Structure 1
Amino acid sequence: MRISTQQIYRQSIGNMMEQQIQLTKTQQQVATGKRFQNASEDPVAAQQSLAMQRSLDRLAQYDKQSVLVDGRLREEENAVTSSVQVLQRVRELVVGANNGTQSNDSRAATAAEIREQVKSLMQLANSQDGNGHYLFGGYQDDTAPYSFDDASQAVQTNTHAGQRLVSIGPGRQVADGDTGAAVFQQVPANATDVAAGQIDLFTALSQIATALETPRSGGLEPVVPPTVPADPTEPYNLSDSTTTVDGLNKVLAKSLVVLDRGLDHLSDVRTSIGVRLNQIDQQSETNASSSLQLSALKADNEDIDIAEAYSRLSLQISGLQAAQKAYVQVQGLSLFNYL
């Protein structure tokens, strides 16, 4: 078969162009560290990498949400801890007021401090996170759940229902807080009997203060040590229509029980917060492990073997240089050189 000089030239140039394309591709792989730059180069691997990247993005979003929820819960835990301190102080005041040496004036002074403790408890119930959202605001966390009415000296409740659930992992959600009602106004009157009703701590503390403010006859008479009401399901209504020391004694007896119920309830709330914080920590570890595995699989799927790529690049450069030299030599051939 006869091969023309022009055909030899075309084949040589075509071979060099193909080698140049392969060399450029290898150079891009070495520069980027990736096996392919476009999905068309390896559609299957590109689709797999895309799916894994989406999974990694979801895990990253879960981590961001976990950090936010963790921060809110820790701030709520601090608020609840401070609320426990408020109730403990009120309990100390109630015990101190239950003394035969107390006068109407001294009890009124104790009531004034309890009024201030009510305001402190309300401020804790209106605690905000770093973004200005109310921790106990429920779905309406842009509105303060409580306000204080100076005229009635009572805490007013605003709407704050709902508990927001936040996804922290595949198929796993956690509440990012508790409503003010659940923490401060729905204290079980009896831990084992739901029928006993619920205690509103704001109302209870205000009633204690009112009872202590009421002038009592026989103010210097000994007060009988308070005892737990015989009927545990008795409604814990701390209002008192009497003006006697005996009436005050009954209020103080119930008050200590109510405060103990409140302290137990806040302890349960802190436990619930701690459980959720542990869940976030566990899920964060799971997310980190999954992210590490996916990142490794994605790298195996799209990253090059850098040693192999450098070796291939060296061979392709040598091959292209050899082809170029051969082309130059062939181009110089002519029958006139042999005449």
Structure 2
Amino acid sequence: MTDRISTGMMFSQSLAGMMTRQKQLNTLQQQLATGQKLVSAKDDPVAAGTAVGLDRTLAELERFGKNANTVSNRLGLQENVLAQAGDSMARVNELAIQANNGSLTTDDRKSISAELQSIYKNLLSLANSTDGAGRYLFGGSADDSAPFSKTAAGIVYNGDQTQRRVEIAPETFVNDATPGSEIFMRVRTGDGTVDASAGAGNGGTGVLTDFGRSTGGGWSGESYSIVFTAADGYDVLDAGGTPIASGTWASGEEISYGGLRLQIEGEPAIGDSFAIGPAPARDVFATLENLIGALETDAVTTIEKAAQQNALQAAMRDVARASEKMIDARAAGGAQLAAIDDAAGVREANGVTIKTTLSELRDLDYAEAITRYQLESTALQTAQTVFTRMQGMSLFDLLR
């Protein structure tokens, strides 16, 4: 059997070869014009798919960066607000110490009270600070309205206790601003664990000067009351009011029971009481209100002055705990800001690596592309020349 090479077949093969060369030249021209070697996914489906995945990762890193900027702004504003609030509480402590001076007159204390009222209003304004975008810093997730409002019963917290966690790098989260309930409202009184107080109806001059846990330990969370039964004697009552112990006492001596101790100076009247037990929580605004109320009292008699001194010393202890609470919140916010800075380095390093990989997948090697273009151009010109010469060939030329 003899195979025939027809003229039509030669024309078709030559045309197909030139079209293939032309297509390759067009692809190279697009690559040279765009600087990309992946003009379309069909150029390299695997590389194109990998590049799309890396693009998504870069977009995610950009989103993490925006998250970090937002939470960094809020934490920075929280730091500024708490710094101002801390300065205010330091001034409150100074004023309380000043007011506890027995040589001050009633007018002097009322002047101090006026300054405390100004600090109170400023502190409430700070607690209702916004982040510049209309969201309240200390409202938790309910940050679309002011978290603190004043009522007849005192300051009320309207936010919630939710603290957002924001992703700022792959699997790296930081906490948003601390809810105001954890900074301004839930402040332990006394020494933070134990608190003691003088009875509201005391008729003597006994002043509570110190209290806390006994050095020997043994306290398991109970509350007790010390009730004076004589000028030098007392009973210890449990939380239900049942006498469980008794003892003798002299001014300035410590009374210890059940792992707790308290020191009282002065002359308590028979029936005067002093309570000691687990420290409850009180909001900083109530603490300031108590301090202002104590200073507004016109203490004239020794009994009134003793009651005022007890109130002032209790307020100073509570102010110290509130200041510590704000310092703790600032420290926690600072740790989150440090984590944001660390995450920025991680995002930058990941971004550089991904962009380098994308460049290897997509960016054109111009030297190689130009060389290939020249080769394909030469091959196309050669094919065109061969085709032209083939058109002029005929068997009749051999018969001449």
Shorter chain as normaliser: what TM range? 0.7 to 0.9
Say yes or no: does 1:314 pair with 2:397.
no
Match of 1:67, SS state, is: helix
Q: What CA deviation, in whole Å up to 9, does each residue of 1:248-289 have, x standing for no partner?
A: 111111222222222222111111111111111111211211
Pairing of 1:54-93 with structure 2 (within 5 A): 54-93=56-95
Q: What CA deviation, in whole Å up to 9, does each residue of 1:278-334 have, x standing for no partner?
A: 111111211211121122122222333221111111111122122223322332334
Structure 1 CA distance for aligned equivalents of residues 397 and 348 of structure 2: 74
Instruction: In structure 2, give the amino acid aligned to 1:321.
Output: Q
Structure 1 CA distance for aligned equivalents of residues 120 and 366 of structure 2: 69
Instruction: In structure 1, give the amino acid aligned to 2:182.
Output: A
Q: Which residue of 1 aligns with 2:113?
A: 111
Q: What CA deviation, in whole Å up to 9, does each residue of 1:131-172 have, x standing for no partner?
A: 1100000010001011234xx494333233211111112222
**1:136–1:160: 8 Å Cα contact kept in structure 2?**
no
Q: Which residue of 1 aligns with 2:177?
A: 177
**2:139–2:158: 8 Å Cα contact kept in structure 1?**
no
Pairing of 1:152-167 with structure 2 (within 5 A): 152=152, 154-167=154-167
Q: Which residue of 1 aligns with 2:388?
A: 328
Choose the corresponding residue for 1:120, options 119, 122, 129.
Answer: 122
Say yes or no: does 1:196 pair with 2:196.
no
**1:119–1:148: 8 Å Cα contact kept in structure 2?**
no
Deviation at 1:192, TM superposition (A): 5.5
Structure 1 CA distance for aligned equivalents of residues 159 and 138 of structure 2: 11
Match of 1:155, SS state, is: strand
Match of 2:23, SS state, is: helix
Gaps of 5+ in 2: 195-220, 222-277
**2:141–2:159: 8 Å Cα contact kept in structure 1?**
no
Q: Which residue of 1 aligns with 2:291?
A: 208
**1:140–1:159: 8 Å Cα contact kept in structure 2?**
yes
User: Root-mean-square deviation (CA), in Å?
Assistant: 2.1
Structure 2 CA distance for aligned equivalents of residues 95 and 191 of structure 1: 20
Structure 2 CA distance for aligned equivalents of residues 84 and 213 of structure 1: 24
**1:111–1:213: 8 Å Cα contact kept in structure 2?**
yes
Q: Which residue of 1 aligns with 2:347?
A: 287
Deviation at 1:94, TM superposition (A): 1.4
**1:35–1:304: 8 Å Cα contact kept in structure 2?**
yes
Instruction: In structure 2, give the amino acid aligned to 1:127.
Output: S
Structure in which a larger fraction of residues adopt helix:
1
So what's the TM-score if we normalise by structure 1? 0.86
Say yes or no: does 1:139 pair with 2:141.
yes
**2:291–2:315: 8 Å Cα contact kept in structure 1?**
yes
Going from structure 1 to structure 2, the CA distance change for 1:153 and 1:216 (only over 3 Å counts) comes to: farther
Deviation at 1:191, TM superposition (A): 4.2
Range moving further from structure 2, 258-267 or 124-133: 258-267
Structure 2 CA distance for aligned equivalents of residues 116 and 176 of structure 1: 29
Equivalent pairs counted in the alignment come to 314
Say yes or no: does 1:256 pair with 2:316.
yes
Q: What CA deviation, in whole Å up to 9, does each residue of 1:187-217 have, x standing for no partner?
A: 2333456942323111000110011011111
- Please identify the structure whose Cα radius of gyration is greater: 2
Q: What CA deviation, in whole Å up to 9, does each residue of 1:215-238 have, x standing for no partner?
A: 1115xx8xxxxxxxxxxxxxxxxx
Structure 2 CA distance for aligned equivalents of residues 213 and 278 of structure 1: 45
Percentage identity across aligned positions? 34
Match of 1:296, SS state, is: helix
So what's the TM-score if we normalise by structure 2? 0.73
Going from structure 1 to structure 2, the CA distance change for 1:153 and 1:101 (only over 3 Å counts) comes to: farther
Instruction: In structure 2, give the amino acid aligned to 1:69.
Output: V
Instruction: In structure 1, give the amino acid aligned to 2:286.
Output: T
Q: Which residue of 1 aligns with 2:9?
A: 7
Q: Which residue of 2 aligns with 1:303?
A: 363
